[in-house]
């Protein structure tokens, strides 16, 4: 089968199309013919071997997992003898992070990493959903405890998480402000953001506005700046970003909530937990993935380049 392989850490130029052996499912796994895969921040970090924790986990000098790709959609071709939930022919999607291997013709996965794909959802749409939509749902609902009537700000609004988050937030009847670069603001307006801020022109932590809830996918500022932008009893939820800033948030949050009555929370992704809920929202026409692409297999290095520069809108999807 064809796969996108990397044997050393580096930029998109180290990704190569190669013929590799088709995997064989273990007793508790299914074999999936992959139709679409999307790029996540994790793929980008693993490609370069940053942050250093990725090297500790996945190979100090050379990557142990040679094929990236966690968010996949495809059709089950074979099932191991202990598999109960799925059968050959089922169309499925899910987040295989930790196992990876999605940038390939076939991949094996455990049942609990997969959900059935609704017939009305394309493979490209399904591949866009797993990580970004879970982070959006879990960040807003579980960690942020979003409430009707709130003022919400999404920082890094035009990428994968932000474009799901605004659609989910609107179901709660909140007023949403999106922060991103100028080239994405028209798209944000067309998606239903009530207000947009170009971060290159305006600093949302210093413009005199306050928000009940902030969902941040970048976390590149001091936690004190974010606290300034929260209303009393407001909640700042970080999905990810700079390691230094995340550690700052982790250690200072008890003190900040004690002194200021504002709350700092960190999302810990529960992969695939809410895929059934996403299926419901999709089938009801309430949420639709925003797709950048789809790109073809031989365009993968370029698709990574676009992702790395932050030029994408929504999710970068590759049709296999
Ligand atoms: N918590 C967990 O368990 C967990 C698990 C997996 C992933 N994650 C995290 O989830 C996040 C993934 O988010 P995503 O998929 O939405 O990323 P994304 O698709 O790369 O989107 C990020 C957006 O932020 C914009 N941006 C860049 N710099 C900015 C700034 N200074 N201020 C405001 N916006 C800025 C980018 O556009 P421009 O470049 O054009 O500005 C882009 O539109 C990452 O932080 C990742 O580490 C967390």
Residue nearest to atom 39 of ligand 1 (CA): 310
Over residues 26-83, the pLDDT tens digits come to: 999 999 999 999 999 999 999 999 989 899 999 999 999 999 999 999 999 999 999 9
- Cα of 217 vs centre of ligand 1, distance in Å, is 4
pLDDT range class, residue 120, cuts 50, 70, 90: very high
What is residue 104's DSSP assignment? B
237 touches ligand 1 (CB under 6 Å): no
Residue 70 has a pLDDT of 98
Q: What is the mean pLDDT of the chain?
A: 97
- Cα of 126 vs centre of ligand 1, distance in Å, is 20
Dump the DSSP string for 108-126: EEEGGG-EEPPTTS-HHHH
Residue 218 has a pLDDT of 96
* Long-range own/partner contacts, residues 239-242 (CB < 8 A, 24 or more apart): 239/135, 239/139, 239/161, 239/215, 239/267, 240/41, 240/135, 240/267, 241/216, 241/217, 242/218
95 touches ligand 1 (CB under 6 Å): no
H/E stretch holding 292: strand 291-296
Which residues pair with residue 78 across a beta bridge?
Answer: 31
Cβ neighbours around 125 below 10 Å, total: 24
pLDDT range class, residue 283, cuts 50, 70, 90: very high
Task: Please classify residue 259 by burial: count the beta carbons closer than 10 Å to its beta carbon, then call 0-12 exposed, 13-18 middle and 19+ buried.
Answer: exposed
CB 180 within 8 A of CB 188: yes
Average pLDDT over residues 121-144: 98
- Specify the ligand 1 atom closest to the Cα of 180: 34
CB 215 within 8 A of CB 235: no
pLDDT range class, residue 101, cuts 50, 70, 90: very high
Over residues 188-211, the pLDDT tens digits come to: 999 999 999 999 999 999 999 999
Residue nearest to atom 42 of ligand 1 (CA): 159
Residue 144 has a pLDDT of 98
126 touches ligand 1 (CB under 6 Å): no
Q: From CA 10, how far away is CA 79, in angstroms rounded? A: 35
**Cα 172–178–182 angle (5° rounding)?**
155
Residue 222 has a pLDDT of 93
- Specify the ligand 1 atom closest to the Cα of 97: 6
Return the percentage of the chain with pLDDT > 90, whole number: 98
Q: Give SS3 for 9.
A: coil
pTM of the model: 0.97
Both structure tokens of 285: 């026409």
Over residues 242-276, the pLDDT tens digits come to: 999 999 999 999 999 989 989 999 999 999 999 99
- Specify the ligand 1 atom closest to the Cα of 155: 33
23 touches ligand 1 (CB under 6 Å): no
Over residues 172-186, the pLDDT tens digits come to: 999 999 999 999 999
CB 274 within 8 A of CB 138: yes
- The position carrying tokens 């980008």 is 44
41 touches ligand 1 (CB under 6 Å): yes
- Cα of 159 vs centre of ligand 1, distance in Å, is 6
- Cα of 58 vs centre of ligand 1, distance in Å, is 22
- Specify the ligand 1 atom closest to the Cα of 158: 43
- Cα of 21 vs centre of ligand 1, distance in Å, is 34
> Which of 159, 272, 292, 315 to probe ligand 1 with, by most ligand atoms within 8 A of CB?
159
> Largest alpha-carbon pair distance within the chain?
61
| Gyration radius from the chain CA atoms | 20
Return the percentage of the chain with pLDDT > 70, whole number: 100
242 touches ligand 1 (CB under 6 Å): no
Average pLDDT over residues 131-150: 98
Residue 126 has a pLDDT of 98
């Amino acid at each position: 089968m064809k796969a996108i392989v990397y044997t050393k850490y580096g930029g998109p130029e180290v990704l190569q199309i190669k013929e590799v052996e088709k995997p064989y499912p273990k007793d508790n796994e299914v074999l999936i013919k992959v139709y679409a895969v999307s790029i996540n921040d994790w793929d980008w970090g693993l490609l370069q071997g940053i942050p250093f924790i990725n090297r500790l986990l996945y190979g100090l000098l050379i990557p142990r997992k040679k094929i990236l790709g966690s968010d996949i959609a495809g059709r089950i071709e074979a099932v191991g003898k202990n598999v109960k939930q799925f059968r050959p022919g089922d169309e499925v999607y899910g987040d295989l992070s930790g196992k990876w291997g999605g940038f390939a013709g076939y991949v094996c996965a455990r049942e609990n990493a997969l959900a059935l794909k609704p017939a009305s959802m394309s493979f490209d749409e399904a591949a866009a959903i797993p990580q970004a939509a879970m982070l959006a749902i879990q960040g807003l609902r579980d960690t942020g405890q979003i409430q009707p009537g709130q003022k919400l700000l999404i920082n890094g609004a035009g990428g994968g998480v932000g474009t799901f988050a605004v659609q989910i937030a609107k179901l709660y009847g909140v007023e949403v402000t999106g922060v991103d670069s100028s080239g994405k603001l028209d798209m944000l307006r067309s998606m239903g953001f009530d207000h947009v801020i170009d971060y290159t022109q305006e600093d949302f932590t210093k413009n005199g506005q306050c928000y009940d809830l902030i969902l941040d996918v970048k976390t590149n500022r001091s936690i004190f700046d974010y606290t300034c932008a929260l209303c009393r009893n407001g909640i700042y939820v970080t999905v990810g970003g700079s390691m230094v800033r995340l550690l700052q948030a982790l250690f200072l949050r008890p003190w900040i909530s004690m002194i200021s009555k504002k709350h700092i929370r960190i999302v810990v992704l529960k992969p695939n937990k809410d895929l059934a809920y996403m299926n419901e929202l999709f089938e009801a026409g309430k949420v639709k993935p925003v797709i950048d692409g789809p790109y073809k297999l031989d365009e993968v290095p370029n698709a990574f380049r676009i992702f790395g520069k932050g030029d994408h809108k929504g999710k970068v999807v590759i049709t296999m």
